[in-house]
A and B are shown apart, each in its own frame.
Chain A
Amino acid sequence: MKSVIKHLKINKLTKLSFVLIFTSLLSFAQQGDYPNGKKLFNANCAACHRLDKKLIGPALSNVTEIRSLAWLKLWIKDNNALRASGDADAKAIFEEFKGMPMTPFPQLSDQDIVDILEYTKGKPKVTASTVQKINPAVARGKKIFKANCAACHKLNKKLIGPPLFKIGEIRSLEWLKLWIKDNNALRASGDADAKAIFEEYKGMPMMAFPQLSDQNIEDVVKYLNVGDVKPVATQVAVSKSDPRFDKPMVSVKVSLALTILAFLLLSLIIASTTKKRGEKSDEPSMLFTLYKNPFLRLLALIFVLLGSAYLVFAWLMQIDVNEGYQPIQPIHFSHAVHAGANKIDCQYCHSSAKHSKTSGIPSVNVCMNCHKSISEYNGELFGGYTKVELDGEIQKMYDAIGWDKENLQYKKDYKQKPIKWVRIHNLPDFAYFNHSQHVTVAGVACQKCHGPVETMDEVKQFSKLTMGWCINCHKTTEVNMKDNGYYKNIHEQLSKKYGLEKVTEAQMGGQECGKCHY
């Protein structure tokens, strides 16, 4: 007991440090980093899994509600071992997927797995409760309007045809039905209104829509009378409560620092207290002995030097690695709106990617394919911009090419101004990269290197674009030889000579220096 009393003070410190270690470890365990998880998911799981649907493997949305964290960790790291241990769930899954095992991911740490699982829970959802209830007929009408009329008509603005908001108050429903189904016939029948419209639009007739039923037209008119109902959204962040995955208050770095601090404290305590009891007090403490030991001092010096060399090297290595580079662009163009919300294919705009070494920034005439009729932004606001500001961004494009949005025509003799975008992905001159090789031949998805561009309002550099990053992918990617006539002979030779059915890009010579540096 004596000793305990003697070391009471120290014991308190020890306790404190244990608490510190425990809390920091705990904070590690609880940490679920959504963005990191997303990245890891895309890199490791996305080849076989989707969140929302079954691909090769099952859909993984909210998988944490079905399985326990411990089970998931075991499963992901080595599902074969788990199955071999006789786990019933593992066996069931194996059978469900007809004996096709999942690739084990021993390289993923527990933390990685927690991050991935955080991602599978989806974004913190925003629910919108609309104040007004929308009449189903109006909704139907809106759909029909978008499909058939929106190319030439807008609600509040003249486009190719007149604005149609509350058209039902100007024209009778019967007249509208006749007009929409066959306006030429209506005019031929001598209808004065029909003729007047024809003359107003300089003899340009409207397309006939005989395919629309009376009900369709009624719906459209109902929609036109109401117009777009702006959903007044009350944003309520709903977070699911699951104690295991709650976001911790402390970040990784802090918890790491805590751990190190605690260990230091502990070792100090141990060092300073390992003096044997009963020895003379004039003997130096162990800490002092350690400090005086020349070998240890040399060792410490070496460690300090090596450590600082490592730090300097690490610092040097990150120079000009611009992961996350997100420059301000001359136009606040949102990929999330175009590729995300409107689901425009990447290669519609970046059309050179399949033919050329550069993916190509679309020229303004490509933008104008759609923006001839879309001169204002009516989607969800983003990036803290107001609607007026975003409409101004569209106007910048019109200024470049010289489009008169009022009269819907190109200005004559307009001096066109090119748009000076800021290049995000900068490879050095001595590295040759060819988009078409990857897009057309290998069929690599754009997102593999560029990340989820369809979710980015402002694009940033997603990947490191370092040589190691390239090589890693070349080492792991298998060449698809089956569907390409070029590999006909190569494939035959390979299987004959080495019995290989599959080779990676690196084995095919994709790791030779001269393939990218000339």
Chain B
Amino acid sequence: MASNKKYWRSVEELKADSPIVESLQQKEFAEELPTDAFLGDKENLSKPSTTRRDFLKYVGFSTAAVTLAACEGPVIKSIPYVVKPDNIIPGVANYYASTMVDGTDFANILVKVREGRPIKIEPNKMAGNWGTTSARVQASVLSLYDNNRLRNPLMETKESDWKSIDKKVIETLKGLKDTDKKIVVLSGTTASPSSNKVIEDFTKAYGNVSYVVYDALSESAALDAFQEVYGVRALPDYKFENAEVIVSVGADFLGDWQGGHYSAAYAKGRKPVNGKMSKLIQFESNMSLTGANADKRIPVKPSNQVYALLNLYNAVTGNNVKSKEIAADKAVKIAAEQLKKVGKNAVVVTGIQNKEAQLIAMAINKALQSEIMDATSPRFVKAGDDKAVANLVKEMNKGKIGALLMYNVNPSYTLPNAKEFNTGLKKVKLSVTFDSSNTETALNTNIIAITPHYLEAWGDSTFQTGQYALMQPTIRPLFNTRQFEDSLLTWMDSNISYYDYIRENWTTSILNGSSWNKALEDGIFKTESKVEVSENTIDVNKAASSLLAVVNPSDFELNVYVKTTLGDGKQANNPWLQELPDPISRTSWDNYLTISAEDAKVLNFENWNVSDGALNGSRANIKVGDVTIKNVPVFIQPGQAKGSVGMAVGYGRTSGMQKEMMVGLNAFSLMQEFNPFQKVEIEKTEGEHEFACVQLQHTIMGRDEIIKETTLDDFINKPKEDWNKTPEYSLNHEEVPAERVDLWEKFDDTIGPHFNLSIDLATCTGCAACIVACHAENNVPVVGKHEIRVSRDMYWLRIDRYYTSDMTNEVAKEEGIFGSGEMFNEMMVPQENPQVAFQPVMCQHCNHAPCETVCPVAATSHGRQGQNQMIYNRCIGTRYCANNCPYKVRRFNWFKYAENSEFDFNMNNDLGRMVLNPDVVIRSRGVMEKCSMCIQKTQLSILTAKKEGRLVKDEEFQTACSSACPTGAIVFGDINDKESEVIHLIKDDRTFHLLAEVGTKPNVMYHLKVRNTEES
């Protein structure tokens, strides 16, 4: 019997026509579930947000986990050598003399090596001017640990081994022997006697070989000119230390002009001694480092630079070669008068990349009977031949080249006609790149024969006649690399290694009986040889007419320039260099179009600050010939010549690089015919660019206690109080110098060393070598573009750059707007052609430091040796100290910068971390840090002396910045040592302390800048 029981689930069901029952029969739920409310919003779902409950769970779990994990320390292994090398003591650094040569930068250096790892580059003081280091030389040690270096050689984009590569190359090269196809070796300047000899031998071995030298930063014009006059393909040497008047037409000789390394010599003439110092007059279009240091700078657009040079020639010689009148003629005449006045101690240099222009500059020097230009000891650091390179590209496209071996060059990136080169490359049967990473050129070649970094390699060099140098490995090769020369030697069936080859070459033709070991220890070997030069006459009229024929004036002229930071882009994957702000624009991680304020107004370009103080700018499309670069950021540069724009090379690399470093745009593509002067069309586009600019186009804003300067005239003729007055306060109804008014008791600093740092603003050129040196020595992290933009840079040492303004306190008083907002707004605007002053600022190590008194946990304290000490492990990150520091030199670790994938720079990979200095701790998140006055270095010097039971010698006390400074502007020492250099500097009339009126009594002193503004 079937049951007639009725089962019901809710009273609703008992109603016969309930709509709910109806719908429930159809569907599980009577109403639509509100799934859309929490699943419909796709955007929200993709965000990694958590609910409150989850959040609490995570917090609870992680707190418990951290607590548990903290209970037991990790087991730390300590692994000694199996067989310890004799000369290594763990914990003690060794120094090796070596040489940096990478085709762009050349320097004689010392390499600091800890436990077999090079960690710091120091200048080799024995090598004179060549022993100075620039920012790029200092940073090159990090390029050794570049994570993007290739590990194995590549053949047809696959990892291969040297055996199969050798087989393939030798086969192909031998096959080319009897054909009409050439083998071409294309390299950057080697400046190496042995390297050149290997290439010579290689040429002999195969017969059909030609050797082409290509420099991306070419000085081909100057080389051609020198060759025409003196018969040697080299560059003259300039003895700027003896010069009284230097006139430069577009030559950035404190930067990369003709191989650089002139700043030390130049600085020697810049200290006013016995009322004398040199005078520098600069005609240029972009604001260069040299222009910024010039006593008189005349902005002249590129085409007018040519006329200025010709007019200068006319004014100096009284001749009348054809030229044109320009606005700068008055300045040219004054320059000519001053040149003539000093005669043999005057010199004219030019950076115009034109053989004729170079000839005319030489002619002026001859007319002046200048002894500054020295043709008898020429330089060999540039050897590139633009014509030969252009010819090579043509021949490649015609299919005449059978094999192309490329070393230290990256033509697919640096050539203006890179496209043509790449097409030609496809027609070459065998193309080999000798490089350490997968560069733009390497991408298109058959074989990438990976080469070691210069710190892993043997080599030799001669930068200048009579000065030889050796390069030695300071670390075992990190990867499966082989030197370029070793490869060539293998491919010509020679069994000799390149090391033996160099040694033999030196013994037979260089050392002349001297000791090889001594030369290797010193790193350099000097001989007395001078080159005998025959001198041909210069046909100035002919030169001038062919020069005028190529001048191409236009509304807007582009001057492609080289930044001190990135150079030609070889080290573009080096985060230290990317983050280093350009000394002039103080902008990092970018290149941009520099334009004068007036032109910007006409073209409607703007730079403006957004609320957090960061700089934004308009964008432009620029067109040179048939090359267009889109969306170029525009940067308004005070001092830029009207009608001219500038753009730096070295940026816009796209291959063999980490993503973060692929910034900027490639300006090499604009240098048609290898000429940095180009006619350009500029057009504004939509959008804005975000700059990472650490200091805006600021002036000193009338606060002349920050940076002081005077003219040579005042310096000689007026009392000190006129140009270097110490601020005064009223004490007991009497005006006394600020340093005598004090709240605090004096420290007793008289026992043991008391360190002082002296910075001479007269010789500081703003080159930024000290910044990179500080980075390397103190494990300062790289923070990336965004962090720089939001003012979270970590530099312990910055170089402030100040422009002058038309509005001064005096002008304001006259106009009756003194102290008003209008005055300050005006003051912020730099002049059209401002004077520039550089000022390195690091922690001033105040004897009465404002930071110390506000720290709630006493994490920063004063040391008896004058150092203001910062104790990271004690710091709790209140940042009171940074707020109370009048110099703004304290840096806060907003994040953990090491081993953090958000900051994927050298501290985030095992290779990159090898560069860290083991004596300096890595700061963690949430602590303050700042310049320590290299306490690890001073402590080491003291310890060494104690161990040897002697007093410390003055030159032993060094900071990273003082030892890296190429011009000797930074001097460090002990003021309790009466013999020290720094104690003499303290007594100098030019000495002043930063913001002396604050009464902090800094241990860092400055020497004010003197400008030689005499016009007669």
Contact = CB atoms under 8 A, between A and B. Distances in A.
A517 interface: yes
B29 interface: no
A362 B73 CA distance: 25
B90 A358 contact: yes
A440 B91 CA distance: 15
Give the one of A322, A352, A401 with max B CB within 10 A: A352
24 contacts: A319-B70, A352-B91, A355-B89, A357-B91, A362-B80, A363-B80, A363-B81, A364-B81, A366-B84, A416-B82, A418-B80, A421-B78, A422-B77, A423-B78, A426-B76, A429-B921, A430-B873, A432-B936, A440-B947, A493-B750, A514-B861, A515-B863, A518-B921, A518-B936
B77 A423 contact: yes
Interface string A423-462: 1001011111010110011000000000000000000000
A443 to B, nearest CB: 11
Interface in B56-88: 70-71, 73, 75-84
A41 to B, nearest CB: 30
Contact of B76 (A423, A493, A494): A423
A327 B74 CA distance: 11
B769 to A, nearest CB: 23
A327 B864 contact: no
B847 to A, nearest CB: 15
B943 A360 contact: no
B515 interface: no
Interface in B902-940: 919-922, 932, 935-936, 939
Contacts of B80: 360-364, 418-419, 421
A356 B90 contact: yes
A81 to B, nearest CB: 37
Nearest to B81: A363
Contacts of A320: 73
Interface string A80-110: 0000000000000000000000000000000
Interface stretch (A14-22, A196-204, A278-286, A480-488): A480-488
A361 B90 CA distance: 10
B571 interface: no
A437 B943 contact: yes
Interface stretch (B350-358, B439-447, B460-468, B949-957): B949-957
A284 B1006 CA distance: 83
Contact of A488 (B867, B921, B951): B951
A441 B943 contact: yes
B751 interface: yes
Contacts of B73: 320, 322, 426
A470 to B, nearest CB: 14
B871 interface: yes
A327 B90 CA distance: 23
A432 B872 CA distance: 13
A356 B935 contact: no
Interface residues of A, number: 55
A514 B861 CA distance: 8
Given A436-B943, A437-B946, A489-B951, A494 B751 contact: yes
Interface in B857-871: 861, 863-865, 867, 869-871
B134 to A, nearest CB: 27
Interface string B854-893: 0000000101110101111110000000000000000000
Interface of B: 70-71, 73, 75-84, 89-92, 750-752, 861, 863-865, 867, 869-874, 919-922, 932, 935-936, 939, 942-943, 945-952
B76 A515 contact: no
Interface of A: 319-320, 322, 327, 352, 355-358, 360-366, 400-401, 416-423, 426, 428-432, 434, 436-437, 440-441, 483-486, 488-490, 493-494, 497, 508-509, 512-515, 517-518
Contact of A518 (B70, B83, B932, B945): B932
A505 to B, nearest CB: 12
B83 A365 contact: yes
Contacts, number: 148
Given A358-B91, A366-B84, A514 B867 contact: yes
Give the one of B78, B932, B949, B951 with max A CB within 10 A: B78
B92 A356 contact: yes
Given A363-B84, A441-B947, A485-B951, A517 B871 contact: yes
B947 A436 contact: yes
B688 to A, nearest CB: 43
Contacts of A319: 70-71
Given A429-B921, A493-B751, A514 B870 contact: yes
A431 B872 CA distance: 10
A483 B946 CA distance: 10
Contacts of B939: 515
Contacts of A416: 82-83
A430 B921 contact: yes
Contacts of B92: 352, 355-356
Contacts of A508: 752
A418 B81 contact: yes
Given A423-B76, A436-B943, A437-B946, A513 B82 contact: no
The 10 A-B pairs with the shortest beta carbon distances in the complex, nearest first, are: A514-B869, A356-B91, A363-B84, A423-B78, A363-B81, A361-B80, A485-B949, A430-B873, A357-B91, A423-B76
A299 to B, nearest CB: 32
Give the one of A360, A497, A514 with max B CB within 10 A: A514
Given A352-B92, A360-B90, A419-B82, 9 more contacts: A327-B75, A352-B91, A418-B82, A420-B79, A423-B78, A483-B949, A515-B935, A517-B874, A518-B919
Contacts of B71: 319
B851 to A, nearest CB: 14
B751 A490 contact: yes
A434 B940 CA distance: 10
Contacts of B942: 486
B974 to A, nearest CB: 11
Nearest to B923: A430
Nearest to B78: A423
A429 B82 CA distance: 25
B872 A363 contact: no
Contacts of B949: 483-486
A364 B82 contact: yes
A486 B922 CA distance: 31
A512 B83 contact: no
Contacts of B951: 485-486, 488-489
A509 B90 contact: no
A450 to B, nearest CB: 15
A411 B90 CA distance: 27
A518 to B, nearest CB: 5
A513 B871 contact: yes
A486 B751 CA distance: 12
A363 B88 CA distance: 12
B83 A401 contact: yes
A434 to B, nearest CB: 7
A484 B947 CA distance: 8
Nearest to A491: B751
A514 B932 contact: yes
B943 A400 contact: no
A422 B75 contact: yes
A508 B748 CA distance: 12
Nearest to B918: A357
A444 to B, nearest CB: 13
A426 B943 CA distance: 23
B952 to A, nearest CB: 7
B66 to A, nearest CB: 13
A429 to B, nearest CB: 5
Nearest to B976: A489
Contacts of A426: 73, 76
A352 B90 contact: yes
B751 A434 contact: no
Contact of A497 (B91, B750, B919, B943): B750
B869 A486 contact: no
Nearest to A498: B751
A329 to B, nearest CB: 10
